[in-house]
Structure 1
Amino acid sequence: MFSILFSLLTNDLTLIVIMLLLPLGAFYYIYTYPKFQSQVLKVQTGDEAIKIILYMVIYLKLHPSFEGAVNFAAEHAKGPISKDIKKAMWDLQVGKYKTVEEALSAYMQKWVVWNEDFVRSISLLYGVMTEPSEEGRERILRKSLDFLLTNTYRKMKVYVENITGPINILHIMGLLLPVMGLIMFPMISMFLHESINPFALVIGYIAILPVVLYFFMNRILLKRPSAFMVPDISKHPDLPPPNMYMIKTANGKKTFIPILPLALIVGFLIMSYGIFHFIDLYGRLSIVTKPLQQDILMEEAELSIKNLASTFSISAGFGIMFFLYFYLRSFQRIKIRNNIKNIESEFQIGLFSLGNYLSEGFPIEKAIIKTLEEYEKLGMQKRPTFDFFTKLLYNIKNFSMTFKRAMFDKKYGIIVYFPSVLIDEVMRILADASEKSSVLLGNIAKTIGTYLEDLSKIEAKIRELLEDVRAGIKMQAGFVVPLVCAITGSLGIFMINMLKLLAEQLEQIEKNLGIGLLGGEGFGASNLLNDLLGDFTKVMPMTVLQAVVGIYTVEVVALFALLLNGIENGFDKVSRDHLIAQMVLRAIVIYGAVSILSLILFHGVILNIMKSTGMGT
């Protein structure tokens, strides 16, 4: 309340608007928070439900025990449903309920609200225990998983339809209108500086607007049905700790460098020229008289290498700071992450091949050799799955390990090199089956391969649904934003120089006619410029304007890269960091190139005008 009264007393329109919007924004957040959190919880349970049903189906294929399947799924899934299942199974153990069905039924009413499809899939799985034939059990298992996967695809389709509107609003409110505002920025700075505080607009662009954009983008992403598992590569032995960059010396010693301080140091070193320039500019403007202030501001509006270097050093330094931070966070992780995703996408093929040889009666070691030979015949030695089976065979042959130890041994197990939740759980199931017989292991491998193929088909369909949205955001963030912002920054300098030429022409006319056109006889070009713009000494320096536009460009591109990755990959932090680094670097290059070309073009236009009016002679 006091801040609003202060704004009214200061008669600052921009400050008044900001102070009115802040409490409205806080009210909106508090008012919508409960409903939003309930929607997020439903989305999270949808992701968890797929994993629980998948684990139960795979377990029931191996062991005809519904209670065991429920325990297995609750043990390996994480989320609110698995917590409820663990509580239900505990109540069953202490005698509160007599059967698994009764224990789970106590939570069904709650789960129906969260995810009705999950409850229906559980109900379908109940029929496995009463179905006498193997074909009938297989049909029930497949139907329960297919039912949930089909509805997951349907939910993602609804999500894509629902986010089209919010993304369009984000595009208009967060990109189109602000960019149009940037186009008006030079004119606001020059013509409306007495009514609207340009420096308050600067704070709005580089601080308030990005925060608002992030808030709404995060809300869109939190509602995304996350149908697929994100690789957790944090425990991979070849990776540095989080937020550290690893350098290997010639003697093999590992050195870890903190990423954030490095990015800040490099960024500020690049920005140092511009920072010192603006400190010097502020110092000079604060001690000189108004006529000299006007001369200094005109120098800041000149199309010179000095001004370009001071502004672009700020934009480039800020962008390089972003780029280095996100690039170094993802550079040593993205290849491993992509390998894991590639293995997951083609894992069912390897399982089918391995399962076929095991079903024929080959022992596990021979079946793996046959699978590798099949990959070699097809020229697929560079596939990550080939590397997976090669490492597995190496442990079995060289260390005389069992299948289970070769995978999960604490010291030599290969699972640490393939940190996929999906692969980990599948291989644990196969490891249990390997202790019984090769034929059973083969049948299980082929069954799991079939289920994984179904998951891959749904994932491919979902990616098709997201393609149009993804392409639109990529075009906006990767090209349109840096292009328009670069032209806008140069436009302010062009307009100031054009007004300067106009004032000089009016001054010449005054001298020729002997009268004062705007303010009386004897007014020079500097006073005419004040007549055109008001008090020219209050105009924002054009170099400051360009620096602000450059910073805003980097922030918006990073935010839209965050949105793009979230829609495409969910909450995959490695791909998020890699995409932000890529798009920010591309934006810096486009912004710098277009800025230079625009300034050269505008400079040429001004020179032509000067020649045509005789001012260049």
Structure 2
Amino acid sequence: MPKKIKRKSSIGELYGKITVSGRDFESGERKLVKEIEHPFVRFCKKLARMSPGMGKGGVFNKENQSAIEYLDWKLTPQDFTAASKIVTLISFFLAFAAGIILYVSPLQELLALFTNDATTALVYSFFPFLIAAMGIIYYFQSYPVSAAKKEQTKSLTYVPEIMGYMIMSIKLVPNLEKAIEFAASHGKGKIAKDFKNLIWSTQIGVYNSLSEGLDTLAYRWGKYSEEFKRALMRIRASVIENTEAKRYALLDQTMSEMLESIRNKMELYARDLSQPSTMLFYIGVLLPLLLIIILPVGSSFSGAPLANPMVLFAIYNIAIPLITIVFAYSLLQTRPPTYSPPVIPDDYPGLPPKWKIPMGGSNVDARFLAILVLVFGLVFTSVLSTQGFPPKILNAIDGIDIELNDQIIAPDRTKEEVLVSAARDPDYFATDYPTHTGKRFNEQLSKRLPRIDDDEELELAIIAVTQEVKSEEQLFFSKGENDVSPYKLVFGFLISFSLALYILFFLANKAKRKVQLEVQELETEFKDSLYVIASRMGENKPIEDAMKHVQEFLPDLKISRVVFAKTLDNIKLLGMPLEQAVFDKTHGSVANIPSTMIKSSMKMLIDSVQLGVNVAARTMISLSIQLQNSEKVNNTLKILVSDVTGTMKTMTLFIAPIVLGITTSLQRIVIVTISSLASSSVLDSASNTSSGVGDSFSSFSVSGFISPEAIAGIASPTQFILIVAIYIIELVAIMTYFTTKIEEDNDLLVKMNIAQYLPIAITMFVISMIVSNLFLAVGVG
């Protein structure tokens, strides 16, 4: 067996084995590790490996070149070009395949209703999928630019934060290298990453000095954040100031001007948000209101099935919500990240188990309770819809005789009951030829039979009569006195569904939200306590005395008991050193506090104490100012967008459901009016007003251009109610998600707000329909 030859390690592998660590850096922070590539870069490289030749001669356009350099992606033009071509081919292939499947599927019959031309039907089959394919291609090719803009938006809040850390460090020690290292270790986002890369590049000799690298970084970022470039230049200049007073003044001025610039950008963002938010309101609220009236009218006069239940469902419950989601998501991507609320884990001490609701000293499963409410609601409303209240079934009990007039709540009427009350047979509108046809169908068909000569004409006559009878049936049951919509069943289901979601997502998360608010209160108190700690340590008192002073000076604050008192107990009773007393996984004072801000601040406090209490005091003062500045930025954004989000909440919760409910009731009037026109003839009115009208005009009737097929295909009032109700549920979910995310990036609050607002919107919709039906009953009848 040949001897195995040991391969020599490459230069890169040798570098990869090197680890460098320093006393002032966290464990593992300075290790050489392979950088994780962005998912988009990995995706492009994976596609490019499938066909490398497709990327030959590829180049970036100017926008993508600038974006990829800014993002520091290791993506070559050849890989991007090859991936772009492959995505284009796959997208168009899938579009054509989907179009073919649609054209040969049963859904093709729905397309045929829009046109009698086979070529046009073929175009309708492929067109939406081709548009979707073009959208995917555009999204892929413009993704680097979108990712760069997203990072630039994030920098609105990351810039003042990381500059605050740099200024904090330079105020303590006027050393640029230490300031950059300190800011890189505590900052967030791409700026902190660029600072770390700057340190590394300087150490391996890419730059002659850190100042040279900082100049390069400043001008590279200057294209996207002019205030960041100016701040870096001034911080560099502050190091060479000959007096501490001048250095402090320059640094304070730098921070003040930066915050003012960020505030101006926030105001610009809020103003720019106003118009897109209004557009979102138009798409999500006003457009559906208009379509409820326009679609039935357009369907009747054009003959196209615009008011067909399937078409309405596709428009209201798929197309409009999808457009609204995409539009809202694109707006949220432009939101600058501000305060990140604490994320409460499910196993947080004191919380009930997941999906459990504390009730009467025990925990009830929220899922079981939600199912119970949903089932009970459906059963109760089903009985109410079919039996009324008191139920008619009680008549079967001896001695009980309940008449319809004696019931407090009458049941929903059935078609058979309405037809019988109108002195018509229960199968009066039956059209199942030849097995089951009603009186109206037979009457209409008998009028045409004398003019029918063959089977083909008979088949056409049957189709025409069927559509006419269905059109008359639509008119008959759209009248107020003949309304057979199961309102009680539909309304009961909607209310039960909204209550089940309320239990599942609001009540089940109520305890977690309470903890989140308590932690946020702790963060607010912690910011106030920093001044007290700093002032005490400024008197050359040790950190333990400073914590005890906070406990005595601010006894009513929860932060005094939860953090500082517990830290002192750990030191005195358990004999722990300061760092362990704070960060011990079992007994540490911040071990069970899910606040990144408190933990990072305590880490900074402990690290600075090792350099002396005076240094720690100045660090805490600077940190307190930095936290206040971050809070100002967050509050500024909330105030600026409050007008827009407040209006949208009101529209979503009250105005939209009420108007949609009223408009849904008015839809019956539209159907009655159109159906009446379709069944009337201008010939009768013309003969009553003038006897000199020619034959060509006297034969004209409205039914000639109002299609009976379209009238018959219009969604019934019940179908309209269900479609609009589903849309209201989607609208509340989308708009609440948007408004909550704009104000605060809090996923827990999003779920709770949706669950809380949905029952309100559904109740408004139900009440508006009931009231409008009462007012319209006489008019429609």
Q: TM-score, normalised by structure 1?
A: 0.78
The answer for unaligned runs of 5 or more in structure 2 is 1-95, 387-413, 416-426, 442-468, 689-701
Q: Deviations over 1:394-450 (max 9, x none)?
A: 544543444433322222223243323322222211111233444443333233222
Contact 2:227 2:258 in 1 (8 A): yes
**Corresponding pairs, count:** 575
RMSD between aligned residues:
4.5
Contact 1:193 1:539 in 2 (8 A): no
2:278 is the counterpart of 1:168 = yes
- Aligned pair partner of 1:558 in 699, 724, 733: 733
- Aligned pair partner of 2:318 in 178, 183, 207: 207
Q: Which residue of 2 aligns with 1:459?
A: 634
Q: Alignment partner of 1:415: what SS? A: coil
Q: Which residue of 2 aligns with 1:353?
A: 532
**In structure 2, how many angstroms separate the alpha carbons of the residues matched to 1:107 and 1:305?**
72
Contact 2:299 2:305 in 1 (8 A): no
Contact 1:56 1:69 in 2 (8 A): yes
209-218 vs 306-315, greater mean Cα deviation: 306-315
Q: Which residue of 2 aligns with 1:519?
A: none
Contact 1:240 1:246 in 2 (8 A): no
**In structure 1, how many angstroms separate the alpha carbons of the residues matched to 2:523 and 2:299?**
55
Q: Which residue of 2 aligns with 1:435?
A: 610
Q: What is the 5 A alignment of 1:285-296?
A: 289=437
2:553 is the counterpart of 1:374 = yes
Q: Alignment partner of 2:323: what SS? A: helix
User: What's the CA shift for 1:22?
Assistant: 5.5
Q: Alignment partner of 2:288: what SS? A: helix
Q: 1:245 to 1:78 in 2, by over 3 A?
A: farther
Contact 1:318 1:554 in 2 (8 A): no
**In structure 2, how many angstroms separate the alpha carbons of the residues matched to 1:189 and 1:8?**
14
2:179 is the counterpart of 1:74 = no
2:490 is the counterpart of 1:311 = yes
Q: 1:444 to 1:81 in 2, by over 3 A?
A: closer
Contact 2:161 2:630 in 1 (8 A): no
User: What's the CA shift for 1:545?
Assistant: 0.8
Q: What is the 5 A alignment of 1:192-591?
A: 194-198=304-308, 199-234=310-345, 237-238=348-349, 244-246=354-356, 289=437, 307-316=486-495, 319-320=498-499, 323=502, 326-327=505-506, 330-376=509-555, 380-381=556-557, 387-493=562-668, 534-535=708-709, 537-569=712-744, 571-591=745-765
**In structure 1, how many angstroms separate the alpha carbons of the residues matched to 2:159 and 2:776?**
60
Q: 1:505 to 1:178 in 2, by over 3 A?
A: closer
552-561 vs 86-95, greater mean Cα deviation: 86-95
User: What's the CA shift for 1:28?
Assistant: 5.1
**In structure 2, how many angstroms separate the alpha carbons of the residues matched to 1:584 and 1:504?**
42
Q: 1:250 to 1:578 in 2, by over 3 A?
A: closer
2:134 is the counterpart of 1:27 = yes
When Rg is computed on C-alpha atoms for both structures, the one with the higher figure is 2
Q: Deviations over 1:123-179 (max 9, x none)?
A: 222234323433333334333333332222111111112222212222223321222
Q: 1:152 to 1:239 in 2, by over 3 A?
A: farther
Q: Which residue of 2 aligns with 1:121?
A: 231
**In structure 2, how many angstroms separate the alpha carbons of the residues matched to 1:394 and 1:148?**
42
Q: 1:179 to 1:500 in 2, by over 3 A?
A: closer
Contact 2:356 2:365 in 1 (8 A): yes
Q: Alignment partner of 1:410: what SS? A: coil
Q: 1:117 to 1:270 in 2, by over 3 A?
A: farther
**In structure 2, how many angstroms separate the alpha carbons of the residues matched to 1:24 and 1:87?**
42
Contact 1:191 1:534 in 2 (8 A): no
Amino acid at match of 2:551: L
Q: Which residue of 2 aligns with 1:601?
A: 775
Contact 1:315 1:547 in 2 (8 A): no
Q: TM-score, normalised by structure 2?
A: 0.63
Contact 2:357 2:508 in 1 (8 A): no
Q: 1:550 to 1:226 in 2, by over 3 A?
A: same
Contact 1:190 1:540 in 2 (8 A): no
221-230 vs 104-113, greater mean Cα deviation: 104-113
**In structure 1, how many angstroms separate the alpha carbons of the residues matched to 2:205 and 2:668?**
80
Q: Which residue of 1 aligns with 2:199?
A: 89
**In structure 1, how many angstroms separate the alpha carbons of the residues matched to 2:659 and 2:359?**
44
Q: 1:78 to 1:495 in 2, by over 3 A?
A: same
Contact 2:478 2:717 in 1 (8 A): yes
Q: 1:328 to 1:97 in 2, by over 3 A?
A: farther
Q: Alignment partner of 1:166: what SS? A: helix
Q: Deviations over 1:540-580 (max 9, x none)?
A: 221111011011011112111122122212x3222222222
Q: Alignment partner of 2:590: what SS? A: helix
Amino acid at match of 2:601: V
**In structure 1, how many angstroms separate the alpha carbons of the residues matched to 2:567 and 2:610?**
16
Q: 1:77 to 1:203 in 2, by over 3 A?
A: same
Q: 1:313 to 1:498 in 2, by over 3 A?
A: farther
User: What's the CA shift for 1:24?
Assistant: 4.0
Q: 1:186 to 1:316 in 2, by over 3 A?
A: farther
**In structure 2, how many angstroms separate the alpha carbons of the residues matched to 1:149 and 1:286?**
74
Q: 1:67 to 1:431 in 2, by over 3 A?
A: same
Q: Which residue of 1 aligns with 2:86?
A: none
Q: Which residue of 1 aligns with 2:401?
A: none
Q: Deviations over 1:304-359 (max 9, x none)?
A: 79701332245345545654554367434322333333344454322112322332
Q: 1:19 to 1:504 in 2, by over 3 A?
A: closer
Q: Alignment partner of 1:414: what SS? A: coil
Paired-residue identity, %: 23
190-199 vs 89-98, greater mean Cα deviation: 190-199
User: What's the CA shift for 1:74?
Assistant: 2.4
Q: 1:246 to 1:240 in 2, by over 3 A?
A: farther
Contact 2:340 2:746 in 1 (8 A): no
User: What's the CA shift for 1:43?
Assistant: 0.9
Q: Deviations over 1:363-395 (max 9, x none)?
A: 43443343334334xxx54x6676554544554
**In structure 2, how many angstroms separate the alpha carbons of the residues matched to 1:457 and 1:540?**
53
Q: 1:337 to 1:152 in 2, by over 3 A?
A: farther
**In structure 1, how many angstroms separate the alpha carbons of the residues matched to 2:215 and 2:668?**
71
User: What's the CA shift for 1:220?
Assistant: 1.0
Q: Deviations over 1:208-248 (max 9, x none)?
A: 21111111111111111223344344487338899x53467
Contact 1:237 1:417 in 2 (8 A): yes
Amino acid at match of 1:84: D
**In structure 2, how many angstroms separate the alpha carbons of the residues matched to 1:193 and 1:324?**
46
2:241 is the counterpart of 1:139 = no
Q: Which residue of 2 aligns with 1:12?
A: 114
Amino acid at match of 1:117: E
**In structure 1, how many angstroms separate the alpha carbons of the residues matched to 2:562 and 2:762?**
38
Q: Which has the higher contact order (CA 8 A, sep 6+)?
A: 1
- Aligned pair partner of 1:40 in 150, 154, 164: 150
**In structure 2, how many angstroms separate the alpha carbons of the residues matched to 1:114 and 1:194?**
51
